[in-house]
Amino acid sequence: MRVVVVSPKFCAPDVVSLTVRRKVMSITGGELTVTDAYGAVVLQVKRSVLSVRSNRRILIGAARQPILSIHEKVLSMHPTWEVFRGDSSSSSDLLFTAKRCTFLKLRTEMNIFLAGNTAQQVCDFKMKGSYFDRNCAIYLGNSNTMIAQITRKYTVSDVLVGKDTFNITVFPDVDHVFVAALVVVLDQVHNSDRS
């Protein structure tokens, strides 16, 4: 089964291994860099320059073009993030919404609803685990079909220079930019929990 959310060009026939490095001591709250198995930068996450107080993040591709923008939805009953194509915030460019299911800070559980799922009665994807431990899985709907997994990676050099590093394993035929966007949302949830 092929899982395309952002674009089919981000689906590979084999497992995609990504490494995410987060600067722990960053003034802007920790910027993320996503690299492939060869160390090449695939995505960078930047805070929106429109507002210093904004909880908006932009995913920039290797060609330095915005691929996605992630916005925290204010005045929502459950902590909610909306992800749009490019640098947009137009409802016509909405790709998916991620909603936190639990307020327990040690556990991560989020439901993801694609833009066409306006009723949001049944989720299209689910994230479960512990982001704090960097041990989360992303599932297809409410099933046990895993499409990606996040695990912590410890390296002495990263600890010494104040970086948090973890791996993402994206299963075959799954949109890896979609999965990376979910990791950015998880990072935002974690930052909110700490503050």
pLDDT exceeds 60 at position 195: no
Q: How far is CA 154 from CA 24, 114, 128, 166, in A?
A: 14, 33, 21, 8
In angstroms, the Cα distances linking 162 to 24, 38, 120, 165, 191 are: 5, 22, 39, 10, 16
- Under CATH, domain 18-194 is a member of which superfamily? LURP1-related (2.40.160.200)
The per-residue pLDDT for 158 is: 47
Supply the mean pLDDT for the chain. Answer: 83
What is the value of pTM for the model shown? 0.86
CA distance 53 to 60: 20
Among residues of the chain, what percentage have pLDDT more than 70? 77
The predicted model gives 53-61 an average pLDDT of 79
- Domain residue spans in the chain? 18-194
CA distance 163 to 46: 16
Residues 78 and 14: their CA atoms lie apart, in Å, by 35
- The predicted-structure confidence for 75-132, as pLDDT tens digits, reads as follows 666 778 999 999 998 999 999 999 988 665 567 789 999 999 999 999 999 999 876 6
Element (H, E) at 140: strand 135-140
Among 42-46, 81-85, 176-180, the least confident range: 42-46
